[in-house]
């Protein structure tokens, strides 16, 4: 079992993600964004940061990094893909997840713990959690307001794709959405940082519940 952590120029949470996965007893390696395959990996994480400087829009340039074609192919073959924060923005820009992330309401950069409520346990990220469970996980973003049109929102609800909601909406996200998955449940994106909630010494270890689910059984969530 090896998890790949994609590194774009401007990523800055790749070590956090790598060490978090390794702390669960699972091998993890970096994948540079110019790689054209993700062969040998059992799961792929797109970490937080400011890929390609977030120029144009967060994720807009990263989606055209060579590695993203391989990530898309991996995802469509059922591989487990997790986008955290900027990684979530990249996945929406790439069309691997529905919706978009906009500037926070109030135009404030938010860096604070949030309480999340598990909505669905049929994604690779939340399969180890229970429905309704509350998890304390920090956020750290400027563009985290989840946005989508009415039809997409209805479809998300109908297909159980809303994975996590904020207990108290910090950023103006539609429907208090903190994370969503694709219909199959093997591609998940969330704005909060589970890799920063791995130890009670740092405020919370609730991120372990999420990442353990992701690394234990990465393929075939549903």
What positions carry a catalytic annotation? Answer: 85, 193, 195
Q: How far is the CB of 62 from other proteins (least distance, A)?
A: 12
In the complex with other proteins, the residue whose CB is nearer, 119 or 171, is 171
Q: How far is the CB of 147 from other proteins (least distance, A)?
A: 6
159 vs 216, beta carbon nearer other proteins: 159
CB of 179 to other proteins, least distance (A): 17
Q: What's the closest the beta carbon of residue 100 comes to other proteins, in angstroms?
A: 4
Nearest to 185 by CA among 131, 127, 135: 127
Residue with tokens 């990249």: 90
**Footprint of other proteins (CB under 8 A):** 56-57, 60, 64, 92-93, 98-100, 102-107, 145, 147-149, 172
Of 106 and 220, nearer to other proteins (C-beta) is 106
Decide whether 103 or 216 has the Cβ nearer to other proteins.
Answer: 103
């Amino acid at each position: 079992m090896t998890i790949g952590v994609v590194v774009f120029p401007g990523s800055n949470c790749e070590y956090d993600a790598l060490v978090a996965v390794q702390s669960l007893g699972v091998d993890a390696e970096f994948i540079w964004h110019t790689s054209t395959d993700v062969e040998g990996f059992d799961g792929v994480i797109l970490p937080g940061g400011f890929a390609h400087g977030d120029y144009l829009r967060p994720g807009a340039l990263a989606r055209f990094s060579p590695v993203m074609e391989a990530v898309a192919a991996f995802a469509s073959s059922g591989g487990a893909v997790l986008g955290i924060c900027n990684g979530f923005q990249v996945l929406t820009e790439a069309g691997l997840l529905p919706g978009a992330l906009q500037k926070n309401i109030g135009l404030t950069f938010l860096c604070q713990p949030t309480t999340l409520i598990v909505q669905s346990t049929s994604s690779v990220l939340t399969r180890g959690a229970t429905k309704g469970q509350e998890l304390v996980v920090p956020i750290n973003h400027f563009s985290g307001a989840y946005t989508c049109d009415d039809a997409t929102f209805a479809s998300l609800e109908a297909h159980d794709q809303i994975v996590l909601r904020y207990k108290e909406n910090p950023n103006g996200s539609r429907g208090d959405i903190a994370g969503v998955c694709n219909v199959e449940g093997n591609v998940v994106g969330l704005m909060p940082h589970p890799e920063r909630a791995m130890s009670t010494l740092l405020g919370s270890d609730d991120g372990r519940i999420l990442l353990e689910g992701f690394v234990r059984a990465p393929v075939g969530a549903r």
